[in-house]
Structure 1
Amino acid sequence: MARRRGNNEGSIYKRKDGTYSGQVTIGRNSDGKPKRKTIYGKTRKEVSGKIAEILTEVNKGLFIDPSNMLMKDWIKIWSEQYSKKKNRPSTWRGYETFIRNRIIPKLGEIRLSKLEPYHIQQFYNELKTEPRLDGKEGTISSSSIIKIHAILHKCLVDARRNKLISWNPSDETDRPHKEIQETKILSNDQMDIFLEEIKKYRYYAGYLLSIGSGLRPGEVLALKWSNLNLKEKTISIEETLTRVLNDEPNAATKTKVITQEAKTQKSKRTLALAKRLAAALRAHRISQVKEKLIAGDKYIDQDYVFATPIGGHVEYRNFYRSFQACLVKCKIPPVKLYALRHTFATRLLEDGEDIRIIQEILGHTDIRTTNIYTHVTQEIKKQSANKIDMHLRKKRQIKSQLQ
């Protein structure tokens, strides 16, 4: 027989399967009778704790009856109590942006318990025609829709775990698929022109690291001199610079720049530096020392390899603008900063480097990510055609000799 809890503990019982359940009054029905909610847990203490939390919310007027809870209510709770605590600040910033601008406006007013697969499917279909958030031309990318699906699915998984819903309606929708897009790189001719022109720019050594070692932009900007051993020509990647939401009380800005640990263990890596890279970094260090002398007491040394004239971190947007200005000078069509990393990987493949070595250098956890670089460039196609042509010529020569 189930044992009732002691005084002041409420109605908590041990169930036949060994778990516990209890009830808590969350309000009154229209007829004035108490409205109760059943709580489940593995232990008596767990159930008691959940009941105490609900009673606190009820007394403060913050409790939302699950049967009346809207999607916007739950997703806000989930964002703060689950997503924010589990994810890196940069990841959570992306989640928050999608939740605020995409999910809540479309699904927010639907009751959580009434959310159906067709609501979600219609949402995904409409997203395909939605404009980009950054103001650029075109519609939202397929990769963004996939991220939104992942957020929504995780949110509903946790709703089910909390017994707010009996099933996950996102499981019954057609999962968005990513459209395969060609990775943009610099051609050999463009690369030669770019490398000559970029020497004139302040962050020359940074761009050289991207195209010569495959570093991500955030990894370049987070580099400290303590990560470099120019004598041994090695570089250690440990952190990345990123912009995240600023949730500090009375913050003057909505976002802030932070240095955070590399995303995965594979991202943390030590690489060998080419001689040209080491030489460029030495020259850059000499220039930085001169800037320190000019700035005097205004210079706050934070050990950044790429710093402002007074020692602060370099903003990604400034690093990007300088890169785009160089492309204009070179008469190269606009590409993202990541094109330098893509170019590095593609050149290694063209030179016959093993795909798994490239995976290690780039810091990819999954070899499938590295495989995007196995697209065949036009130059490789021409080389292959020339090789086939040579074989065909040999066959024609043999045939003529036999005749």
Structure 2
Amino acid sequence: MTRKRPPGEGSIYQRKDGLWVGAITIGYTPRGNPRRKVVYGRTRQEVARKLAELQVLHHKGLLSEPSQITVREWAEDWLRRKASEVRPRTLESYRYHLTRALPSLKDPQAHDPLGRMRLQAVQPLHVRRHLDGLKLTPHAMKNVRWLLHSLFEDALRMEVIHRNPVAPIRVKGPPRKTPGRTLQPEEARALLAALDAHPSPLALALRLMLTCGLRRGEALGLRWEDVDLEEGVLRVRRAWAKVGGRGVISEPKTSSGYRTVPIPPTTLERLRAYRESVQGLSEEEVRASWLFPGRDPSQPVHPDAPDHLLRRLLSRLGLPQVRVHDLRHTYGSLLLANGAPVELVAERMGHANPNITLGIYRHLLEEERRGWVLDIG
């Protein structure tokens, strides 16, 4: 007869031959099947005592049974799961950095002692020695350590391992990240004038990055239905990113990336004129079309195209080179320099929270704070 026990404490029953049996779930296999431990005894009390002892060992992480799954195999499973959770470009970055630590992910024949180890056999010392042998920059090392920690943490949650061997490992991180060079106001005005004089629609895409704070992929991912020329706003709903050398549509980086951004009057005038130049399509077809189509109008222009145009224009103007992404940083810097609240700048730029904005523009805000001095004699 089986008597119910509290959840997690296992079950006890008596067989027809009189022997008592107890069973407890101690985890799950890599494929999600429950892993059970069974004990036997002549009395119910004996089996209950054995189950209680197993519970203590289980909570101490001492009951994990050997599994043949390797670190490389678990990493492949982890990447497959992540494919449905993150953007394609993020997944590509995950695979790239993990491959630097586990080369057998790319080439099964590659020398990869950590990747070939059983997942449950990996100890902190193995991870420490493996990372010490990698010739990576501090930034790459930090990414590798974070990814290894994440995939072992996933195995820990699934109760395939009883502790994360990467948790005690520390690596030296890169210096605090600061924005690239931003344009001074007079440089921004000179660039805007050059953009207005350039016949390519890509010049307008660069103007949107500079005057609306859009990321490159967000500007190239705009359809006409996202632009309200009457209200003077645009809505960021998607991004056109380069993955594996080609463009791929993806969602914004975070939920805050979905946002409505006001369009400055001068840029709005340029957009209205550009809209009038779109001919030969019905209103419905125009709304569904890309603002900046490529040679194949069913897709936006190649993600690298704005970079090439910006380099040519800056060279022609005699201005120092900046990245396309620095146009967005220029927008944020100029907003803050003109007294815009950090919360507003974070909202306009699609940051998940104002702390991200503070981290990026801390140097600028510190300069601004130095100007606030109270001299009461």
- Please, what TM-score do these two structures have when normalized by structure 2? 0.72
| Residue aligned with 2:248, SS | strand
Equivalent residue, structure 2, for 1:257: 247
State which drifts further: 201-210 or 212-221. 201-210
- Residue pairs, 1:295-314, within 5 angstroms: 302-311=288-297, 312-314=299-301
Equivalent residue, structure 2, for 1:266: 256
Return the alpha-carbon distance in structure 2 between the equivalents of residues 236 and 165 of structure 1.
45
For residue 379 of structure 1, report the CA deviation from its aligned partner: 9.0
Equivalent residue, structure 2, for 1:74: 74
| Residue aligned with 2:247, SS | strand
| Residue aligned with 2:257, SS | coil
Equivalent residue, structure 2, for 1:153: 149
1:113 pairs with 2:120: yes
| Residue aligned with 1:353, SS | coil
Equivalent residue, structure 2, for 1:331: 318
AA paired with 2:144? I
Is 2:102–2:115's contact at 8 Å kept on the other side of the alignment? yes
For residue 278 of structure 1, report the CA deviation from its aligned partner: 0.5
Return the alpha-carbon distance in structure 2 between the equivalents of residues 191 and 75 of structure 1.
46
| Residue aligned with 1:315, SS | coil
Equivalent residue, structure 2, for 1:50: 33
Is 2:254–2:352's contact at 8 Å kept on the other side of the alignment? yes
For residue 374 of structure 1, report the CA deviation from its aligned partner: 3.3
For residue 345 of structure 1, report the CA deviation from its aligned partner: 0.6
| Residue aligned with 1:85, SS | coil
- Residue pairs, 1:3-402, within 5 angstroms: 17-18=7-8, 40=26, 50=33, 66-80=66-80, 82-104=81-103, 107-127=114-134, 129-130=135-136, 140=137, 142=139, 144-184=140-180, 185-199=182-196, 200=198, 202=200, 203-244=202-243, 256-289=246-279, 302-311=288-297, 312-371=299-358, 372-376=360-364, 384=371
For residue 98 of structure 1, report the CA deviation from its aligned partner: 1.7
Is 2:247–2:303's contact at 8 Å kept on the other side of the alignment? no
AA paired with 1:87? V
Return the alpha-carbon distance in structure 1 between the equivalents of residues 241 and 320 of structure 2.
26
5+ residue gaps, structure 1: 4-13, 22-37, 53-64, 131-139, 245-253, 294-298, 396-403
| Residue aligned with 2:208, SS | helix
Return the alpha-carbon distance in structure 2 between the equivalents of residues 94 and 338 of structure 1.
18
> What do the CA deviations read for 1:90-126 (whole angstroms, capped 9, x no partner)?
3222212222233345531333223222333344445
AA paired with 1:343? T
Return the alpha-carbon distance in structure 1 between the equivalents of residues 133 and 334 of structure 2.
40
Return the alpha-carbon distance in structure 2 between the equivalents of residues 303 and 150 of structure 1.
40
For residue 182 of structure 1, report the CA deviation from its aligned partner: 3.0
- Please, what TM-score do these two structures have when normalized by structure 1? 0.68
More helix by share: 1
Return the alpha-carbon distance in structure 1 between the equivalents of residues 248 and 159 of structure 2.
37
AA paired with 1:74? W
For residue 239 of structure 1, report the CA deviation from its aligned partner: 1.2
AA paired with 2:74? W
Closer/same/farther in 2, CA of residues 17 and 375 from structure 1, 3 Å limit: same
Is 1:90–1:242's contact at 8 Å kept on the other side of the alignment? yes
For residue 344 of structure 1, report the CA deviation from its aligned partner: 0.5
> What do the CA deviations read for 1:42-82 (whole angstroms, capped 9, x no partner)?
9xxx9997279xxxxxxxxxxxx9544321122112222x3
Return the alpha-carbon distance in structure 1 between the equivalents of residues 339 and 275 of structure 2.
34
For residue 378 of structure 1, report the CA deviation from its aligned partner: 11
For residue 266 of structure 1, report the CA deviation from its aligned partner: 1.4
Return the alpha-carbon distance in structure 2 between the equivalents of residues 256 and 40 of structure 1.
46
Aligned length: 319
Is 2:30–2:160's contact at 8 Å kept on the other side of the alignment? no
Is 1:41–1:47's contact at 8 Å kept on the other side of the alignment? no
Closer/same/farther in 2, CA of residues 187 and 47 from structure 1, 3 Å limit: closer
Equivalent residue, structure 2, for 1:248: none
For residue 221 of structure 1, report the CA deviation from its aligned partner: 0.7
AA paired with 2:156? R
Closer/same/farther in 2, CA of residues 158 and 19 from structure 1, 3 Å limit: farther
AA paired with 2:33? K
Closer/same/farther in 2, CA of residues 122 and 324 from structure 1, 3 Å limit: farther
Is 2:225–2:288's contact at 8 Å kept on the other side of the alignment? no
Q: What is the aligned-residue RMSD (CA, Å)? A: 3.7
For residue 235 of structure 1, report the CA deviation from its aligned partner: 0.9
> What do the CA deviations read for 1:137-184 (whole angstroms, capped 9, x no partner)?
xxx462x43333332112101212333322101111115534213312
Identity among equivalent positions (%) equals 24
Is 2:8–2:25's contact at 8 Å kept on the other side of the alignment? no
Closer/same/farther in 2, CA of residues 50 and 110 from structure 1, 3 Å limit: closer
Return the alpha-carbon distance in structure 2 between the equivalents of residues 15 and 178 of structure 1.
52
